[in-house]
């Protein structure tokens, strides 16, 4: 079996996934093919990989490839974790909007940051999909690259075996289990929505609804009421599966108000610092410092294990909405539980979301749909339309500011964008 890591120079994430794979004895003998476009980063990734898997100890064989098609040849699973533009593009995604007064926290999923991260990723996804279709057409593509919903919606046009993976559902439920005092292994839950804005629809243990326990925990700890996700739960009746920092920039009510930023303890431009920390971690790894990673509980190793062994698992995946959530847009990627076994990844239909949750998801999806259409149809005006309907951007900027901001972002990222989208526009 062959597992390919695309963007293996992402040191922290690569090492965590390798630690999980190395702990699965049924995968012994598999080839782990590491690919990166940087020879230096690939060498650093290889050094860390060998320290984790140790060929003779785990039976995993590590190979390295600067050529992507060579890495992909004969692959069974492809794990994508690239970041097009890397730290410099992230800084741009925050610095330019900030000059217009637009605040962001993470900027990788929605808003101006998410829109332009998607647009500079789409050309890479085109090339990756073409290579997979040519040299490993039966492989499953397991995507971790954000913005998840936009990327999966875009990719699914070209690849039949693709699923987007994110740890937000797992770690949300792990945290809620701790908050209500029930071991994670004893809880049952159902979540659904769009990635980074899914909802905990059912939360129970041994037939007991655990939402009343959550209410009691919130009542006992006033500090919990200073979190955006708790505020959303109190107003909407269903707990969201993403952090408060992430959640705040998908909504119109928080980041434009100084008082709300203070009240909910929001960290504006947090991801710029996270990105800088990742650069520092890479530099330490390049200097030879190595810290054995902890297990990640990520879904990709679980999917691979279930498909290889036939032992079924339920994970949360992102796939195009073809009858999965009936009151969200058809075709746009949604996050739902999926059964995984030798037959592959099979999403489960959830039906209708609560109407208030679906309403927020639809405004979220509208931004992504217009961003995808901008690239697919070569329509640069749709970039501006996507920013116009983004909740946080629309609550903060005038229409003139939004168009001027998009023009400046296009100039800044021009060499990474699809050629048809590089022009500036005036209404």
DSSP states of 121-174: HHHHHHHHHHHHHHH-TTPEEEE-PSSHHHHHHHHTTT-SSEEE--SHHHHHHH
Contact 78, 92 (CB under 8 A): no
3-state secondary structure of 80: strand
SS3 category, 193: strand
State whether the Cα torsion 69-70-71-73 is positive or negative: positive
- Tokens 């040299």 correspond to 135
CA distance 356 to 10: 38
Which residues are part of a known binding site for Mn(2+)? Answer: 166, 196
Residues in binding site for substrate: 146
Contact 410, 417 (CB under 8 A): yes
The SS3 call for residue 105 is: coil
What's the distance, Cα to Cα, between the start and end of the chain in Å?
A: 53
Q: Which of 256, 265, 253, 169 is nearest to 225 (CA)?
A: 265
Preceding amide of 147 cis, omega within 30: yes
Residue in the structure block whose two tokens are 């039949």? 160
- What is the Cα 9 distance to its own chain's centre? 18
Neighbouring CB atoms inside 10 A of 345's CB total 21
- Six token digits for residue 337: 């539980």
Q: Which parts are annotated binding residues?
A: 146, 166, 196
Q: Look at the block and give the residue holding tokens 């230096």.
A: 40
CA distance 72 to 303: 19
Tokens 């080839």 sit on residue: 31
Residue 394 to residue 420: CA distance in whole angstroms: 25
The angle formed by the CA atoms of residues 405, 411 and 415, to the nearest 5 degrees, is 140
Catalytic residues: 167
Structure tokens at 14: 């690569």
Closest CA to 307 of 348, 346, 340: 340
């Amino acid at each position: 079996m062959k597992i390919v890591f695309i963007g293996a120079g992402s040191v922290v994430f690569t090492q965590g996934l390798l630690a999980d794979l190395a702990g699965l004895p049924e995968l012994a003998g598999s080839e782990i093919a590491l690919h990166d476009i940087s020879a230096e980063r690939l060498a650093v990734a290889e050094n860390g990989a060998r320290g984790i898997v140790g060929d003779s100890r785990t039976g995993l064989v590590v190979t390295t490839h600067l050529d992507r098609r060579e890495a992909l040849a004969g692959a069974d699973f492809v794990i994508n974790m690239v970041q097009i533009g890397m730290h410099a593009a992230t800084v741009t995604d925050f610095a330019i909007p900030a000059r217009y007064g637009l605040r962001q926290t993470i900027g990788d999923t929605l808003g101006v940051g998410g829109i332009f991260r998607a647009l500079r990723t789409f050309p890479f996804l085109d090339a990756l999909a073409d290579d997979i279709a040519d040299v490993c057409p039966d492989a499953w593509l397991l995507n971790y690259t954000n913005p998840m919903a936009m990327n999966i919606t875009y990719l699914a046009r070209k690849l039949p075996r693709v699923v987007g993976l994110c740890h937000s559902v797992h770690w949300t439920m792990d945290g809620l289990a701790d908050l209500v005092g029930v071991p994670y292994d004893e809880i049952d839950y159902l979540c659904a929505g769009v990635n980074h804005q899914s909802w905990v629809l059912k939360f129970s243990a041994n037939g007991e609804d655990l939402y009343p326990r959550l209410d009691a925990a919130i009542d006992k700890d006033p500090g919990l009421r200073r979190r955006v996700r708790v505020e959303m739960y109190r107003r909407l009746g269903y707990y969201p599966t993403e952090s408060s920092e992430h959640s705040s920039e998908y909504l119109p009510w928080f980041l434009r108000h100084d008082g709300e930023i203070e009240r909910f303890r929001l960290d504006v431009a947090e991801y710029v610092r996270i990105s800088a920390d990742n650069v520092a971690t890479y530099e330490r790894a390049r200097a030879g410092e190595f810290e054995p990673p902890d297990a990640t509980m990520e879904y990709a190793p679980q999917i691979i294990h279930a498909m290889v062994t036939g032992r079924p698992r339920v994970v949360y995946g992102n796939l195009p909405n073809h009858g999965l959530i009936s009151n969200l847009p058809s075709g746009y990627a949604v996050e739902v539980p999926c059964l995984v076994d030798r037959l592959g990844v099979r999403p489960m239909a959830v039906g209708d979301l609560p109407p208030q949750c679906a309403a927020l998801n639809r405004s979220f999806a509208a931004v992504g749909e217009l961003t995808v259409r901008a690239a697919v149809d070569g329509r640069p005006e749709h970039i501006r339309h996507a920013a116009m309907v983004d909740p946080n951007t629309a609550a903060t900027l005038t229409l003139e500011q939004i168009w001027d901001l998009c023009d400046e972002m296009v100039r800044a990222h021009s060499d990474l964008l699809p050629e048809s989208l590089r022009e500036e526009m005036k209404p």
